[in-house]
Amino acid sequence: MGDGSNSDKATPVQVVNLSNIIEIAANQNRSMALESDGTVWAWGNNTGGRLGDGTTTDRNEPVELTSLTNIVQISIGFNHNLALKNDNTVWAWGNNSNGELGDGTITDRSSPVEITAISNVIMVSAGRYFSIALLNDGTVMAWGNNQAGQLGDASNLDRLTPVQVSGLTNVTFINSLF
């Protein structure tokens, strides 16, 4: 809930210890908030390090992800997360069973890691076991699970690092669902 309790609520409650929030990302069991100063906070289920605080401890109040600074956008996937920094780099953490973190491994990460295979990113979106990024030249990169061809690279092979989505140019917005 983010209010310090573990009980369901029938009415909205105030999340504690947050101010100047410019973006919220949430899914079925965890939430993240981005403050105007570029800090990221997370709370909820932390299986596999999904919160990014370096632990696997569930949190019922927001915890600051101190390893992330100067963040301008966040995205929450099914079991992983992405953050875009003001230097156009992408950071990922959480479950990585299909390569959705883009770091070349299938190792879960409880702290954010930089996706070094891409740069000049202006938008990110975390889906169900895959991720996508929009580059400043209007092209799109994708990585992770590809069993249904969702990475758009004319294959059904999972990708542990970003690959270009073929046929897309001049893209201005991306979004993925799970």
Q: Where are the domains of the chain?
A: 21-164
Name residues whose C-beta falls within 8 Å of residue 175's C-beta, 6 or more positions apart in sequence. Answer: 125
Question: CB-based burial of residue 159 (10 Å sphere; 0-12 exposed, 13-18 middle, 19+ buried)?
Answer: buried
pTM for this predicted structure:
0.95
| Positions in the chain short of pLDDT 70 | 178
Q: Tens of pLDDT along 42-79? A: 999 999 999 999 999 999 999 999 999 999 999 999 99
- Give pLDDT, residue 4: 86
pLDDT at 59: 97
pLDDT of residue 108: 97
The CATH number that domain 21-164 falls under is: 2.130.10.30
How many helices and strands in the chain, by DSSP H and E?
0, 12
Give CA–CA dist 42/61, Å, rounded: 8
